A and B are shown apart, each in its own frame.
Chain A
Amino acid sequence: MTRFLLTATALSALLTAMPAAAQEMRIGLQDDADILDPDQSRTFVGRIVYAGLCDKLVDLDGEANIIPMLATDWAYSDDGLELAMNLRDGVVFHDGTAFDAEAVVANITRSMTLEESRRKSELSSVASIAATGPMQVTFTLTAPDASLVAQLSDRAGMMISPTAAEEAGADFGQNPVCSGPFRFVERIQQDRIVLEKFEDYYDADRINIDRVTYLPIPDTTVRLANLRSGELDMIERLAAPDVASVSQDSGLTMQETVGLGYMAIYLNIGNGERSETPMGQDPRVRQAFSMAIDREALNQVVFEGTAVAGNQPFPPTSPWFNTDLPVPARDVEGARTLLAEAGIDRMPVEIQHANNPVVTQMMQVVQAMVAEAGFDVTLRATEFATLLSEQTAGNFQLSRSDWSGRPDPDGNLHQFVTCEGGINDPRYCNPEVDRLLNEARASTDPAVRKAAYDAAGVILNQDLPVIYLGHQTYIFALDDSVQGFQALPDGMIRLQDVTIAE
């Protein structure tokens, strides 16, 4: 008996003394990230890597609400011209530099002033930032901006080590130093980005993965094949046609969530000569075009039912969706009547779109649908960089494009449809819409904002500088050994609480 006890004690001591096997996670991404400097980067996948590498002032939860991260709480002043944030204690950057108010000031100042910074427009309402305590900062604004906190939930709010940023300057992206759960190990362009667990992370108890490798694999078939063969533990943006086979595979699991963005067609209304068509000049023609589209059928045919049909910049699941403007059913007769009112029997239309299979199929379905109402659509497939420059230059009649979305409604609307909007490629301009959207931006009262967005939505739904088609879903496929992952509406991969079963 004594011997048994001794053996048992010795065995249990041995077992507890043995470290758990190192957990490695390999994640397949759709593209390669660009420069790994939150101030300079602009790709979606770059943001996925940052979710492991760089913590932000604030984060999003599953309902796209803004929650504390490096800032514990915040408040706007009564006139909306100041935003004060209290910061988390006991946080350090990967190089040992302490995180404090001075670090935040240095970060925001860098985002606003670095020549190569791409964050300037996101912080355009910030006049200055100051440390108003060792662990408190205050933003002074040029005008009230309710969307600022939401901007800080993305790259503008990512905190990098001021010491490393000072030393590296614009080359910071070659060796990024942040304060997230994982630290940078190496990057080989187009091959891999490797991060390892940061032992001094303030929330280290929730991090069970020791090492994470991100591998860009653009081909969806190959990405899924890698997951099936066990080379990867997880892939992002699973293609809709693969959903059925993944859900039947007992070795795999799926997580999906409706994204924050939208799929749309932009209509040239005032951007040069090509806007001078009935489509550009007569709202009735645009309405007819929109009415002839069956959005639910698009979702079923092209996305196997995984997307969400939509007619607004926010998905029907969003609290900002205007329920008085429900997603319309297809109405070919109504479309014909409107066209007849505009004095048109049949008219030619050209749509430019990105030359990938999903978008091409989607536009072919639209082409067939609107043909019944009287539109003879020519499709012009272009490669994405060209599409972007043609759209900016006004060399388009209709242009099919996506927006990945922002947590604050302002980010899905203001820049696209206000007269001076930075990405207003249709060059739509309506002073009333400007007034409403500026009012919504300036107020911190959700009820006031909702009323303004609803009112603007009604006007936009008549003028139609943008025809919204629907909202994509982010679908992740995982090996069934991966547990604890939750898909969030921004499509990022957060590794807090994720474990890999042995």
Chain B
Amino acid sequence: MLIYIAKRLLIALPTLLIVSMLVFGLQHLLPGDPVLAMAGEERDPETLARIRASLNLDQPIPIQYLRWLGGVVQGDFGTSLRTGEPVSALIAQKLPVTIQLAVMAMIFAALIGIPTGIIAAVNKGSAVDWAANLVALSGLSIPNFWLGIMLILLVSVNLGWLPASGYESPFVDPWRSLQTMIMPAFVLGTGLAATLMRHTRSAMLGVMSADYIRTARAKGLTRREVILKHGFRNALLPVITLTALLFGELLAGAVLTEQIFTIPGFGKLIVDAVFNRDYAVVQGVVLCTAVGFLLMNLIADVLSVLLNPRMRAAL
């Protein structure tokens, strides 16, 4: 198993290297000049040249890339062009916020998606199944930004139950942290809940028509025992791996949700950095996100190996 993980990590390294090159190269193709954005009203040629030189932006792109990569290997991601803060510090500050949001969204998604999926599968073809599918379809079709704004207007402005936006660390004020995170996590979770529901439903349907379920029924087990012990347990495997993969997608989905609810996380960091042409921040954040995706993929694979004896045997 350890050898398997080590192998996978080794394969990840060249992937990361390619990602870093792509990020570096592509953002230089973006129109808009970071130096111009930095110079502000003082846009005379000498000032622009001076800033360009101080940031090494006058060097050829491959040299800039190697310098940057050299720093990254030593844990130095450079400093933000906009605020002068070290990029590594910014990442360390924002990443936990987004992870908190993603974990809470995942909990929402699992709490809604998995039970609905089971109920829909067990009652296949019935009105319940139909209703669950309708809900799932709405969950997938309603855009996060619309749902977010509607919830803010309803829950915060009209009812006054929850703050409309903002963020508080759970270590400073856990209650307030929960209050500020519930709405965004719910919004982010709805789309995923729908995906989870549909996958749980089809996995359950597959399992429920298997021979061993018929055997279990023939043995006279209760409906509840058949569904949960024999059915759900076996249907869980693809759902768990899917959940790990979806977690990566959640990080991407967080971009929009963080914008609406003004949560100072990873998504908001990268959107602002792109708009300000804050190259160092964009590079650092994209590289970190790539690492996150690779890790979640690895975890998904390891989980399926651990949970599926047949795959373990194949290793």
Q: Do A and B come from one complex?
A: yes
Instruction: Tell me which residues across on chain A come within 8 A of B152, comparing CB atoms.
Output: 221-222, 225
The B147-181 residues at the A interface (CB cut-off 8 A) are 149, 152-153, 156-157, 160, 163-167
Chain B interface residue bracket vs A = 35 or more
Q: Which residues of B contact A191 (CB under 8 A)?
A: 166-167, 262, 264
Interface size class of A (residues with CB under 8 A): 35 or more
CA of A228 to CA of B157, assembled, Å? 6
B163 touches A229 (CB 8 A): yes
Instruction: Determine if B272 is an interface residue (Cβ-Cβ < 8 Å).
Output: yes
B42 touches A422 (CB 8 A): yes
Is B84 within 8 A of A229, CB to CB?
no
Q: Is the CB of A385 within 8 A of B277?
A: yes
Q: Are A231 and B83 interface neighbours, CB within 8 A?
A: no
A32 to B277, CA, bound (A): 15
Q: Tell me, yes or no, whether A350 is within 8 Å of chain B by CB.
A: no
- Chain B 254-287, CB-CB to A under 8 Å as 1, else 0, gives 0000011110100011001001110000000000
- Chain A residue nearest to B32 (CB atoms) is A385
**Of residues B85, B165, B167, which shows the largest number of chain A Cβ atoms within 10 Å of its Cβ?**
B165
User: B83 touching A35 by the CB < 8 A rule?
Assistant: yes
Residues of chain B within 8 A (CB-CB) of A385 are 31-34, 36-37, 275-277
Which residues of A, 211-248, contact B by the 8 Å Cβ criterion?
Answer: 215-219, 221-222, 225-226, 228-231
Q: How far is the CA of A191 from the CA of B262 in the complex (A)?
A: 7
Docked complex Cα distance between A389 and B276 (Å): 12
A residues 379-412 in Cβ contact with B at 8 Å: 382-386, 388-390, 392
Q: Does B44 contact A (CB under 8 A)?
A: yes
The interface bits of chain A over 428-455 (1 if a CB of B lies within 8 angstroms of the residue's CB, else 0) are: 0000000000000000000000000000
Asked if B90 is at the interface of the complex by the 8 Å CB criterion, the answer is: yes
Q: In the complex the two chains form, is B47's CB within 8 Å of A120's CB?
A: yes
Task: Give min CB distance, B242 to chain A, whole Å.
Answer: 32
Chain A 17-42 residues near chain B, CB threshold 8 A? 32, 34-35, 37, 40, 42
Report if A115 contacts B (CB, 8 A): yes
Within residues 103 to 121 of chain A, which ones have a CB less than 8 A from any CB in chain B? 115-116, 118-121
CA distance A37 to B40 in the complex (A): 14
Query: Are B165 and A222 touching (Cβ within 8 A)?
Result: yes
Whether B275 contacts A118 by the Cβ 8 Å rule is no
Q: Mark A115-146, 1 if CB is under 8 A from B, else 0.
A: 11011110000000000000000000000000
Check A173/B84 contact, CB under 8 A, given A32-B272, A222-B164. yes
Q: Complex formed: what's the CA distance from A217 to B281 in Å?
A: 20
Which residues of chain A come closer than 8 Å to B32, judged between CB atoms?
383, 385-386, 388-389
Say yes or no for B223: interface residue by CB 8 A criterion. Answer: no
- Closest-by-CB residue of A relative to B167 is A191
Q: How far is the CB of B265 from chain A (nearest CB, A)?
A: 9
* Complex Cα–Cα for A228 and B159 (A): 11
Query: Are the C-beta atoms of A222 and B277 separated by less than 8 Å?
Result: no
| Smallest beta-carbon distance B246→chain A, Å | 26
Cβ contacts under 8 Å, B272 to chain A: 32, 190
In the complex, whether B39 has a CB less than 8 A from a CB of chain A is: yes
Contacts known (A171-B84, A189-B83, A191-B264); A118 close to B165, Cβ less than 8 A: no
CA distance A229 to B151 in the complex (A): 13
Interface residues of B in 94-144 (CB under 8 A from A): none
Q: Which residues of A contact B166 (CB under 8 A)?
A: 191-192, 215, 226, 231
Interfacial chain A residues near B276, Cβ < 8 Å: 385
Cα A174 to Cα B275 in complex, Å, equals 22
In the complex, which residues 179-194 of chain B have their Cβ closer than 8 Å to any Cβ of chain A?
A: none
Q: Which of A40, A189, A225 interacts with B156 by CB under 8 Å?
A: A225
The listed residue (B84, B165, B269, B275) touching A383 by CB distance below 8 A is B275
Q: Are B47 and A229 in contact (CB under 8 A)?
A: no
Q: Of residues A174, A219, A392, which shows the largest number of chain B Cβ atoms within 10 Å of its Cβ?
A: A219
Cβ contacts under 8 Å, A40 to chain B: 84
B42 adjacent to A190 (CB under 8 Å): no
Contact with B along A187-222 (1 / 0, CB 8 A): 011111000000000000000000000011111011
Residues of A within 8 A of B50 (CB): 115
A170 within 8 A of B: yes
Which of A37, A225, A386, A423 contacts B31, CB < 8 Å?
A: A386
If A189-B93, A231-B164, A422-B43 are given as contacts, then 15 extra A-B residue pairs at C-beta distance below 8 Å, sorted by A number, are A34-B82, A35-B83, A35-B84, A118-B39, A118-B40, A170-B84, A171-B84, A189-B269, A222-B261, A225-B165, A229-B160, A383-B275, A384-B275, A389-B32, A392-B43
